[in-house]
Amino acid sequence: MRNALKRFLIIDKRNAPNQKRLAWAAFAVLAIILLALPFAIDGLFGRGWVRVLDFALLYIMLALGLNIVVGYAGLLDLGYVAFFAVGAYCYALLGSPQFGIHLPFWIVLPLGALLACLFGILLGAPTLRLRGDYLAIVTLGFGEIIRIFLNNLNAPINITNGPQGISMIDSIHLGEFSLGRTQEIFGITFPAAHLHYYLFLIFTLLVIFVSLRLQDSRIGRAWAAIREDEIAASAMGINTRNIKLLAFAMGATFGGLAGGLFAGFQGFVSPESFGLTESIMILCMVVLGGMGNVGGVVLGGILLVVIPELTRHLAGTAQQALLGKTVIDPESLRMLMFGLALILIMLWRPAGLWPSSQRRRELIAPAPPSV
């Protein structure tokens, strides 16, 4: 992120001390903006948009998790939302009246992430020998299996409460301090949406930090090597199976983490939230923003949460004004846009809106002639 920022500001390399000061200044400005953002949005657009912001952060976490699998390791995972579901249901089952268990969130959240990680390994261990497109289909199937089970595990023993989902989930709370209601700290009133924003921001920054550190680490380089040529990578002594499994497990962990936060924030989970559409949407964020580039993925996450939200508000009124009736309902418009975006991006900007430099070279360089 800092590198990207530097490049963005086009700072002269010869002027090192100045550059450092500038970078810190930019950081300070960014921090202030991020801290003040919910209040500004609340004041300008209303409380609903702060919730949109919270969702944007959740999706950024998910997209960054998927980015590890798709962007770094080059494994197309179409069932990523399954891990999100595992995390969410773990939180929901252990913190709701469903079983009467009310564990605190600092136990449930890591538990959910761990469980998701376990599922990632369970899915990855047998399937990672497969080539890319087979893997995509198998993961898609896995996502569906999880959803079918969530939908049907209400009989004969009621575990997931079936299609109705689990409601009245405990809000995220630490002792007496709950994020679910308005709190007053140092004389400033923080509504629930704002409190969640700060919590999600912390986790998002954590995920970004881990992603960035991983990217240039030994593991990150191994992922890139596998992505580019698996046979060559294994010839260089990389244990491809374990390294791929690691990518799967890490991606799944982030997914589970986001799932737990989602359940605590929403207070309600149902299988409907974890369909193929969600997986595709998260994939869209990664592809649109730029596979393998953290900044790009963050951008993609923001765009794909905010734009559909905007169209939901504007498309209906615009169509009413122009045509006198609603021709396309906002939900279809959103899906149509996702689909077209995937096609057009692949055709014209295969490396995404903000590509990583390496990925760009890879995707734009002509492939060797097929033999």
Partner 1 sequence: MDIFLQQIINGLVQGSVYSMVALGYTMVYGILGLINFAHGEIVMIGAMVALSVIQLLTGAGFPIFFILLISLMLSMIVCMILGYSMERIAYRPLRNAPRLAPLITAIGLSIVLQTLAMMFWGREYHSFPLLFTNDSVHIAGAVITEVQIIIITVALVMMGGLLILVHRTRLGRAMRAVAENPSAAALMGVNSNSVISITFVLGSALAAIAGIMISANYGIVHYLMGALLGLKAFTAAVLGGIGNLRGAMLGGLLLGLIESLGAGYIGDLSGGFLGSHYQDVFAFFVLIAVLIFRPSGLLGERVAERA
- Among 314, 358, 354, 359, residue whose Cα is nearest residue 337: 314
Tell the smallest beta-carbon distance from residue 327 to partner 1 (Å). 9
Separation CA 145–CA 142 (nearest Å)? 5
Is the bond preceding 271 in cis, omega lying within 30 degrees of 0? no
- Strands (E) in 128-241, as ranges, are 166-167, 173-174, 177-178, 183-185, 188-190
Residues of the chain by 3-state class (helix, strand, coil), percent to 5? 70, 5, 25
Task: Tell me the closest approach of the beta carbon of residue 102 to partner 1, in angstroms.
Answer: 28
Which element (helix H / strand E) includes 96?
A: strand 95-96
Contacts of 267 (CB under 8 A, 6+ apart): 167, 168, 169, 171, 180
Binds partner 1 by CB under 8 A, chosen from 21, 202, 343, 361: 343
Q: Which is nearer to partner 1, 69 or 305 (CB)?
A: 69
204 Cα distance to chain centroid: 9
C-beta pairs of 137-140 under 8 Å, 24+ apart in sequence:
137/78, 139/76, 139/77, 139/78, 139/79, 139/80, 140/78, 140/79, 140/276, 140/279
Minimum Å gap between C-beta 73 and partner 1 is 12
**Within positions 65 to 104, which residues make up the interface with partner 1, using CB under 8 A?**
70, 74, 76, 78
- Considering only 66, 88, 283, 315, the residue that binds partner 1 (CB under 8 A) is 283
Q: How far is the CB of 96 from partner 1 (least distance, A)?
A: 24
**What tokens were used for 52?**
């949109």
Does residue 122 belong to the site contacting partner 1 (CB under 8 A)? no
Question: Please, what is the minimum distance in Å from the beta carbon of residue 166 to partner 1?
Answer: 20
Distance CA 116, CA 274 (A): 14
DSSP label at 354? S
Residue 163 touching partner 1 (CB under 8 A): no
Instruction: Tell the smallest beta-carbon distance from residue 20 to partner 1 (Å).
Output: 38
Measure the CA–CA gap between 277 and 283, rounded to whole angstroms.
10
**With binding defined as CB under 8 A, does residue 321 bind partner 1?**
no
Residue among 42 and 77 whose Cβ is closer to partner 1 = 77
Residue 144 sits in the site that holds partner 1 (CB under 8 A): yes
Q: Among 18, 152, 242, 357, which residue interacts with partner 1 (rule: CB under 8 A)?
A: 152
Site for partner 1 in 214-253 (CB under 8 A): 229-231
Contact pick of 132, 217, 218, 320 for partner 1 (by CB under 8 A) = 132
Q: Which of residues 344-363 bind partner 1 (CB under 8 A)?
A: 346-347, 350, 362-363
Encoding tokens for residue 234?
């294994």
CB of 331 to partner 1, least distance (A): 9
36 vs 328, beta carbon nearer partner 1: 328
Among 59, 248, 338, 354, binds partner 1 (CB under 8 A): 338
Of residues 14, 17, 43, 155, which one binds partner 1 by CB under 8 A? 155
Where does residue 370 fall: left (phi above 0), alpha (psi -120 to 50 degrees), or beta otherwise? beta
Spatial distance between the Cα atoms of 86 and 81, rounded to a whole number of angstroms: 9
Residues that bind partner 1 (CB under 8 A): 70, 74, 76, 78, 126-127, 129-134, 136-138, 140-142, 144-145, 148-149, 152, 155-156, 229-231, 276, 280, 283, 287, 328, 332, 335-336, 338-343, 346-347, 350, 362-363, 366-367, 369-371
